[in-house]
Amino acid sequence: MNEIQLMREELYERIWTTPATKLAAELGISDVGLGKICRRIHIPKPPLGYWRRIETGHMVPRPALPQAKAGDPPRAFFPGKQPERESPPRFQLTNSDIMARIEAERTEEQRIVVAESLQDAHSLVRKTERAYAKAKSGLYG
């Protein structure tokens, strides 16, 4: 694992020079998690709309980093960017696979047989059948 350590001052500088979503991705956490860490160790974050204002040329004042409070850790630890996981190959049926399955179900030993009555059916199946029998057609049929 490639753990990242940032001193409080470094994190303050990075949070004001990189959008939280990008910085959080680099550090291997969510932007909400990054916000919680900043709040916990008393690092001010850019307000909503900050990056858009910067993009449009506005000068937005940056608050100074407040003094660390008693008990604030001098550095923060992050898991680091995790390697991309390869997704498993999706199972896809070809037409020949489908046709083979249809043919297999036509054989006597593979045939699916549905009972004529629901006498010996599971209690939930019987309850569902009774509910459907009492149901009336709705607005959309």
Please tell me whether residues 99 and 39 are part of one structural domain: no
45-80 pLDDT per residue, tens: 999 999 999 999 999 999 999 999 888 888 999 988
DSSP letter, residue 82: P
Burial class (CB in 10 A: 0-12, 13-18, 19+), 32: exposed
pLDDT at 12 over 70: yes
| Local confidence band at 132 (pLDDT 50, 70, 90 cut-offs) | confident
Question: Is 73 within a domain?
Answer: yes
Question: Is 84 within a domain?
Answer: no
Q: Which residue range is the domain that position 34 belongs to?
A: 4-78
15-51 pLDDT per residue, tens: 999 999 999 999 999 999 999 999 999 999 999 999 9
Average pLDDT, integer, range 112-122: 76
Please tell me whether residues 57 and 119 are part of one structural domain: no
Supply the pLDDT for residue 141.
65
Please tell me whether residues 65 and 121 are part of one structural domain: no
Please tell me whether residues 71 and 40 are part of one structural domain: yes
Question: Is 47 within a domain?
Answer: yes
Tally of domains within the chain: 2
Please tell me whether residues 12 and 72 are part of one structural domain: yes
Please tell me whether residues 33 and 72 are part of one structural domain: yes
